[in-house]
Amino acid sequence: MAQMIIDTANHIAGYAAKAARVKVVAAYPITPQTTVVEKIADFVENGEMDAEYIRVESEHSAMVACIAAAAAGVRTFTATSAHGLALMHEALHWASGSRLPVVMAVVNRAMGAPWSIWSDFSDSLSQRDTGWIQFYCADNQEVFDTIIQAYKLCEDERVFLPAMVCLEGFILSHTYMPVKIPEQKEIDDFLPPYRCGWILDVNRPLSHANLVSPDWYMEFRYMIQEAMENAKQLIPKIDKDYGKRFGFEYGGLLEKYKCDDADLVLVTMGTMASDAKIAVDSLRKEGLKVGVARVRVFRPFPTEEIAKLAEQTKMLATIDRHISFGMEGFLSSEIKASLYNKKNRPLLTGFIAGLGGRDVTSETIKKIAKKSLKQMHAGKVEKETEWVDLRE
């Protein structure tokens, strides 16, 4: 029987690692990630989880230990946040370049200076170009389901890439919600034993990742790009299959809410989409045709889905919990880039909100929507990027 539990997203991530039968966990603590690895430590010590737990001395080593363990033939897991993720940066490239299916929970937290332990996406979005698949979750159930789905995806021979499953610090990490945990046997049916593309094997020696000349390097990069394209095809399929088996489905790469007849679609990520849904319900009551699109997978980016969405609406307003200094929010840029070659592009506007854990309520989102609608009616965007609720 499936089990209903009420727990925080961090503990749920631990449950997911256990359900995935992870064999090596290497981790280093950082707020607000700590309770993920504490939960796993409990599981390992009380014998519920048959895994090695390496209490490394830094996040850099945590990632490297996972890479090497994956290369030595076992399923691996780690979790981190903000500065820990930044410290891993170099190793993130090594994981994807080595084509190893490491899965990691990233508990989103703002980057210093100044210190902030609250959420925004600047930590994981800064890792955009490392060759990792990036999922962004909206609730605790999705955290569990996505970690299982991520292993299924990453260990597919058409992909063989690492993935981060991102969840916002405190908003999800420390919030209790009911979550359905399927029976182990059902998970085992869905997720076969660990597979990777190559292995350190004394009977078939190879030097892995030794120097490549300019004659070869580009081909290796191209293969990662191909794998990302394959992942784009596979993610919706895996999500559907998972939904059929376990009852939860997330729209594959892009989750749409009341978009079919919408004049304005608010595009956002993570938990902000949940508040946006509440805002939309209320706006609909006022007769305003607004919808929400939640970018669930940021890499590979759902370019085609965004383009399709754009065909049927008059305006897209992105709300970014992130800023790329000197430009705009990543989501805004990516959406613009996805639409550049399309005819009949809708109007685009971007908002920066919720940095460093600043609360973004459904009321705030309603304000954003109304501001956007005014511009839509005027047929003109006032500002490319507007900061929401900024102190004067």
Partner 1 sequence: MVTIKELPREEYLLKGHAACAGCGPSIAIRLLFKALGNKVIMVVPACCTTVIQGPYPYTSVAVPLQNILFESTAAAASGIVAALRQRKMEDITVIGWAGDGGTVDIGIQALSGAAERETNFIYICYDNEAYGNTGMQRSGATPYGAWTTTTPSGKRERKKDMPFIMAAHRIPYVATACPSYPIDFVEKMRKARDIKGTKYIHILAPCPTGWRYDANKTVELGRLAVQTGLWALYEIEYGKFKLNSPSDRLVDKAKRKPVKEYLQLQGRFRNLTEEDINRIQQWVDEDWERYRKLTSNSLSDATLHGKI
* Distance in angstroms between the alpha carbons of the first and the last residue of the chain: 55
Contact 352/331 with Cβ under 8 angstroms?
no
Structure tokens at 385: 């990027």
Range list of β-strands (E), 33-90 = 52-54, 76-80
Q: How far is the C-alpha of 253 from the C-alpha of 135, rounded, in Å?
A: 9
Q: Give the full edge-to-edge strand order of the sheet including 264-268.
A: 254-257, 290-295, 264-268, 315-320, 347-352, 385-387
Among residues 1, 114, 211, 325, the one that binds partner 1 under rule CB under 8 A: 211
Rounded Cα distance, 293 and 306, in Å: 9
Q: Is 61 in the site for partner 1 (CB under 8 A)?
A: yes
| Burial class, 303, CB count within 10 angstroms (exposed 0-12 / middle 13-18 / buried 19+) | middle
- CA dist., res. 205 & res. 201, Å (int): 6
β-strands 315-320, 264-268 pairing: parallel
Residue 73 as a binder of partner 1 (CB under 8 A): the answer is yes
Stretch that binds partner 1, among 69-77, 265-273, 326-334, 337-345 (CB under 8 A): 69-77
Q: For residues 92 and 130, is the Cβ–Cβ distance under 8 A?
A: yes
Considering the complex, what minimum distance in angstroms separates the CB of residue 219 from partner 1?
10
Q: Looking at 12, 17, 40, 66, which residue binds partner 1 (CB under 8 A)?
A: 66
Which amino acid, residue 105?
A
List binders of partner 1 among 213-242 (CB under 8 A): 213, 216
Minimal distance in Å, beta carbon 211 to partner 1? 5
Kind and range of the H or E run holding 73 = none
- Contact residue for partner 1 among 44, 68, 111, 347 (CB under 8 A): 68
- Contact between 316 and partner 1 (CB under 8 A)? no
**CB under 8 A: which stretch of 38-46, 135-143, 205-213, 261-269 binds partner 1?**
205-213
CB under 8 Å to 152, separation ≥6 — which residues? 190, 191, 238, 242
Q: Which listed range, 63-71, 268-276, 347-355, 368-376, lies at the site for partner 1 (CB under 8 A)?
A: 63-71
Give the nearest distance from C-beta 18 to partner 1 in angstroms.
Answer: 15
> Nearest approach, Cβ of 104 to partner 1 (angstroms)?
14
Shorter beta-carbon distance to partner 1: residue 207 or 341: 207
Q: Does 245 bind partner 1 (CB under 8 A)?
A: no
Strands of 66-185 (E only): list them.
Answer: 76-80, 103-108, 133-136, 163-168, 176-181
Q: Which of 202, 261, 341, 343 binds partner 1 (CB under 8 A)?
A: 202
Q: How far apart are CB 107 and partner 1 at their closest, in Å?
A: 22
H or E element that contains 318: strand 315-320
Across the strands, what pairs with 76? 24
Told to check if 303 binds partner 1 by CB under 8 A, we report no
By CB under 8 A, residue 154 contacts partner 1: no
Residue 30 in the binding site for partner 1 (CB under 8 A) = no
Scan residues 31-50 and list those touching partner 1 (CB under 8 A).
50
Residue 268 Cβ vs partner 1, minimum distance, rounded to whole Å? 35
Query: Which x/- pattern, by CB under 8 A, does the window 78-97 give for partner 1?
Result: ------------xx--x---
Minimum CB–partner distance for residue 60 and partner 1 (Å): 7
Closest CA to 232 of 253, 261, 215: 253
Find the binder of partner 1 among 10, 33, 76, 271 (CB under 8 A): 76
Is residue 344 within the footprint of partner 1 (CB under 8 A)?
no
Of 24, 143, 227, 309, which one interacts with partner 1 (CB under 8 A)? 24
Task: Tell me the number of residues near partner 1 by CB under 8 A.
Answer: 43
**Which run of H or of E encompasses 156?**
none
Separation CA 293–CA 317 (nearest Å): 10
> Which letter does DSSP use for residue 194 in this model?
P
Residue 98 beta carbon to partner 1: minimum distance, rounded to whole angstroms: 9
Given the DSSP bridges, would you call strands 347-352 and 176-181 parallel, antiparallel or unpaired? unpaired
* Nearer CB in complex with partner 1: 223/337: 223
d(CA 62, CA 57): 8
Question: What is the closest distance, in whole angstroms, from the C-beta atom of residue 72 to partner 1 in the complex?
Answer: 4
Residues lying near partner 1 in the complex (CB under 8 A) are found at 23-24, 26, 50-52, 54-58, 60-62, 64-74, 76, 90-91, 94, 200-202, 204-213, 216
